[in-house]
């Protein structure tokens, strides 16, 4: 039986179970995409740290949720 790695959660290998690894992969996928800035409305927002988001276009820093800014 071959194992299939699930995106960024493939680093865990067979540990922790399939469902947990899928949840981690989905959260990390949503977290790492470009998000829309509430100030300049461009998709240039990346996560700086937990709950802190920064726009690379207008240099605005603001707080949001842990994994998504809205």
Instruction: Domain ranges for the chain, please list them.
Output: 7-63
Is-contact 53 47, C-beta < 8 A? yes
Give dist(CA 69, CA 30) in Å, integer.
10
- Output the six-digit token pair for 18: 């399939």
Choices 2.60.40.2130, 2.40.170.20, 3.40.30.10, 2.20.25.30: CATH for 7-63: 2.20.25.30
Note the Cα 17 to chain centre separation in Å: 21
Residue 56 phi/psi, 5° resolution? -85, -5
Q: Which residues of the chain have pLDDT under 70?
A: 1-5
Give dist(CA 51, CA 35) in Å, integer.
13
């Amino acid at each position: 039986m071959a194992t299939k790695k699930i995106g960024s959660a493939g680093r865990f290998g067979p540990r922790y179970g399939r469902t947990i690894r899928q949840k981690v992969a989905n959260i990390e996928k949503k977290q790492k995409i470009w998000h829309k800035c509430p100030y300049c409305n461009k998709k240039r927002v990346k996560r700086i740290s937990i709950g802190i988001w920064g726009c690379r276009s207008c240099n605005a820093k603001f707080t949001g949720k842990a994994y998504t800014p809205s």
